[in-house]
Structures are given as structure tokens and as C-alpha cells.
Amino acid sequence: MSNLYDEANGLEKALRESTEYKELVALYEQVNADESAKNMFDNFRDIQLKLQQKQMAGQEITQEEVDHAQKSVALVQQHETIARLMEAEQRMSMIIAELNKIIMKPLEELYGAVE
């Protein structure tokens, strides 16, 4: 068991020291330091979150809500720093997914596909 936690801590450290994580932190701080960028990004996140929650609750999403969400995506994508932050977040999500895939191999082998 202790070896498991040592290994997990090693991976945590490697993630923290990765270029991709450092870039993500730098961009996140840059957006947060700029009040108008921060507001734009927070608003975008709110809209996304509310849509996700409705979807998960099985509630219907109106065309108006879809349009509103698409407009907020288009808006943040025009902001250079936010666009770069979102790209960095996407790269980080992909890394996390790949790491999880590696770590979960023993369980996937056992169960076929892990839910």
C-alpha cells in the first residue's frame, strides 16, 4: 500500500512540474488578473455549468439557451488569453484522461470495460 501512495505522489509531482500544468497556471492567473477577462470567463462558465446541470437532470434545453451558449463560446474565443487558457485546459483534460487510462489498465483487464 505504501508503495502505491509513493507512486501516486510521484505522479502528482510530475503533473505539477509538467510544462502543461505550468502553462495552465500562468494563463489562469493572467485571466484572473484582468477583471474584464475574468468576468467574461466566469459568465461563460456559468452558462456552461447551467446547461450541463439541465442536461444531467434530463431537462429540455431550449433553442434560445443553445444560441446563448454558442454566443458566449464565440465571445470568449475572440479573447486571446481566454482562448489560450481554454486550449490549455483541453490539453490538461486529455493528459488526465490518458493518465487515468494507464492507471486503470489492471481494472480494465479484470472487468473487460470499467464503468
H helix intervals, 33-113: 35-56, 63-77, 80-103, 105-111
Under rule CB under 8 A, which residues in 8-37 are in contact with its own copies? 8-21, 24-25, 28
Report if residue 38 touches its own copies, rule: CB under 8 A.
Answer: no
Q: Which one of 5-13, 26-34, 88-96, 99-107 is the stretch in contact with Ca ion (CB under 5 A)?
A: 5-13
Let me know if 54 is exposed, middle or buried by CB neighbors in 10 A (0-12, 13-18, 19+): middle
Interface mask (CB under 5 A) for Ca ion, residues 9-48, using x and -? -x--------------------------------------
Query: Does 46 engage in binding with its own copies (CB under 8 A)?
Result: no
The long-range contacts involving 43-46, CB below 8 angstroms and separated by at least 24 positions, are 43/72, 44/72, 44/73, 44/75, 44/76, 44/82
The footprint of its own copies (CB under 8 A) covers 1, 3-21, 24-25, 28, 49, 56-59, 92, 95-96, 98-99, 102-107, 110, 115
